[in-house]
Chains A and B, each alone.
Chain A
Amino acid sequence: DTGVSQNPRHKITKRGQNVTFRCDPISEHNRLYWYRQTLGQGPEFLTYFQNEAQLEKSRLLSDRFSAERPKGSFSTLEIQRTEQGDSAMYLCASSTPPASGDNEQFFGPGTRLTVL
């Protein structure tokens, strides 16, 4: 399968623990995006990378959140000292650089985080 993959698909953790999610984009895509989706809402942008450079971060991304894409391939999103409000679906998407905005983003299945 050559789509975007995310692991784990589900994560249950206790408040205060650290969690890390992984995203593997489509191999030829150099842009990678992270979004967060809470129940009843559309996805909200968190951050994005072009190759290994993190080019934009949302104000939603507090200091407890960090994302990396060390070799311009897979990416990790870490949440430190999780809070119940972090419970959400975390989505990853990838794309080629936009040409006149034509950068269809291909989404992974998401990682559902539940913080108890």
Chain B
Amino acid sequence: AQSVTQLDSQVPVFEEAPVELRCNYSSSVSVYLFWYVQYPNQGLQLLLKYLSGSTLVESINGFEAEFNKSQTSFHLRKPSVHISDTAEYFCALIGGTSYGKLTFGQGTILTVHP
């Protein structure tokens, strides 16, 4: 069985501050890891993904995540957040034999205050 745990349900930060959203996973097989974002009143959108190769992956809007196999983590970071980053963020995985089925964490609500 596979599982994803997002350690913080809510993260409030001030604009231009750094942020880290934590994600840990459990799986007995190799995994592919994803971060999805859901802006208010919008559908889920893929933010970034780790499939193989470099353990540090980046999104086009300044987020990055690092795959750490020994700690089974895939934390999401941004050095300076904007008001527009306010959204709910979901960490998810696909296990090696799950045929593309995503297993999601519980979500972290990021609120950026001016």
Contacts and interface: CB of A to CB of B under 8 A. Distances in A.
Nearest to B42: A109
B28 to A, nearest CB: 16
B7 interface: no
A98 interface: yes
A2 interface: no
Interface residues of B, number: 25
B43 interface: yes
B26 to A, nearest CB: 15
Interface of B: 4, 6, 9, 32, 36, 42-46, 49, 51-52, 90, 92, 94, 99-107
The 7 closest A-B pairs by CB, nearest first: A42-B104, A101-B32, A107-B44, A109-B43, A107-B43, A45-B101, A98-B100
19 contacts: A42-B4, A42-B104, A42-B107, A43-B90, A45-B102, A45-B103, A55-B99, A56-B99, A98-B99, A98-B100, A100-B51, A101-B32, A101-B51, A101-B100, A102-B32, A107-B43, A107-B45, A109-B42, A109-B43
